[in-house]
A and B are shown apart, each in its own frame.
Chain A
Amino acid sequence: TVGCVVVDQEGRCAAATSTGGLMNKRTGRIGDSPLIGAGTYASNLCGVSCTGEGEAIIRATLARDVAAVMEYKGLCLQEAVDFVIKERLDEGQAGLIAVSKNGEVACGFNANGMFRGCATEDGFMEVGIW
């Protein structure tokens, strides 16, 4: 699975996710990536793209949950990401990337690694796997 999340200079967030799914899957199997709220979500607060154990991401509505805890618990972006990864994955393994309308970027995962990269207008840039 691949994904990208962006907030532009107008504070508009967007998210996109694309995948080929599971190796040796049954034909017709649908995962989390095309499910809005599970693998992908964006609102006026944030943009989120998820990857990992598809069925766990679906159960947790993982992408939407990041936005929800920001809205209802008042958490900042990284706090929201940490919260959903720790509390909402129900023993599943997954990761996500997220941006907020304020220009923040965050990622979190409980798998052994996630291919990821992020950058901000302030000059921060990082690419990592583990």
Chain B
Amino acid sequence: MGKWAIAVHGGAGVDPNLPVQRQEAAKQLLTRCLNLGISALRSNCPSIDVVELVVRELETDPLFNSGRGSALTENGTVEMEASIMDGPKRRCGAVSGLTTVKNPISLARLVMEKSPHSYLAFSGAEEFARQQGVELVDNEYFITEENLGMLKLAKEANSILFDYRIPNGGFETCSAGAAATDSPLQMNGLPISLYAPE
């Protein structure tokens, strides 16, 4: 019998000026999710069940960029994506372009287990979700006031913002606009440097 281990993350690239109380809120969420996973492991749940369980919890809390609290598209909507992989036989499932599925990671698992495919996207993924009977919500469910404010800033700066996931109340964020002219390379009409951070 081996020993279990678990790790979680809530994203890389953090606002260096993140207020202490926001840092504490993030740590509390990470701790809660770790404890959730640890309880499941102590109950002898298999690893594939535990990763889905923990990521569902992270998707439901609006603190990080997934599920509720997801970053917004240029149109002010949410499009989510997720993937899951089971090591022993390298089974995998992935989804992209989701707009109404409350927990994308669970749909990714259903792709892995209930379809002959590995990856479904956009209308095909949404149709599969309806067929599988997963919980569906309006796109507005995923949108938070903080992210609406971040999108507004991004549009004013005409850039794609760094994903400082927990915004300061004053929305003191950086955009990559200042570095926009450093490289002649462009992608989608914008300087490549704008895309550098997630």
A interface with B by C-beta (< 8 Å): 1-31, 33-36, 39-47, 49, 51-55, 92-107, 109, 111-122, 125, 127-130
Q: Are A1 and B65 in contact (CB under 8 A)?
A: yes
Q: Are A34 and B96 in contact (CB under 8 A)?
A: yes
Chain A residues lying within 8 Å of B23, measured Cβ to Cβ, are 129
Chain A residues lying within 8 Å of B67, measured Cβ to Cβ, are 18, 20
In residues 10-52 of chain B, which contact A (Cβ within 8 Å)?
Answer: 10-14, 16, 18, 23, 26-27, 30-31, 33-34, 37-38, 41, 44-48, 50-52
Q: Which residue of A28, A93, A106 is within 8 Å of B97 (Cβ)?
A: A28
Cβ-closest chain B residue relative to A39: B83
Residue B129 interfacial (CB < 8 Å)? no
Q: Are B86 and A42 in contact (CB under 8 A)?
A: yes
Cβ-closest chain B residue relative to A14: B47
- Cβ distance A78 to chain B, nearest Cβ, rounded Å: 12
Q: Which residue of A52, A92, A104, A129 is within 8 Å of B5 (Cβ)?
A: A104
Number of interface residues of B (CB under 8 A): 90
Q: Are A13 and B198 in contact (CB under 8 A)?
A: no
Q: Which residue of B87, B119, B151 is within 8 Å of A14 (Cβ)?
A: B87
Q: List 14 A-B contacts (CB under 8 A).
A: A7-B6, A8-B41, A16-B84, A20-B65, A22-B161, A34-B121, A42-B86, A103-B2, A107-B9, A115-B12, A117-B7, A117-B34, A119-B6, A127-B34
- Cβ distance B77 to chain A, nearest Cβ, rounded Å: 7
Q: Are B51 and A119 in contact (CB under 8 A)?
A: no
Cβ-closest 6 pairs across A and B: A20-B70, A115-B10, A113-B14, A103-B3, A13-B87, A95-B12
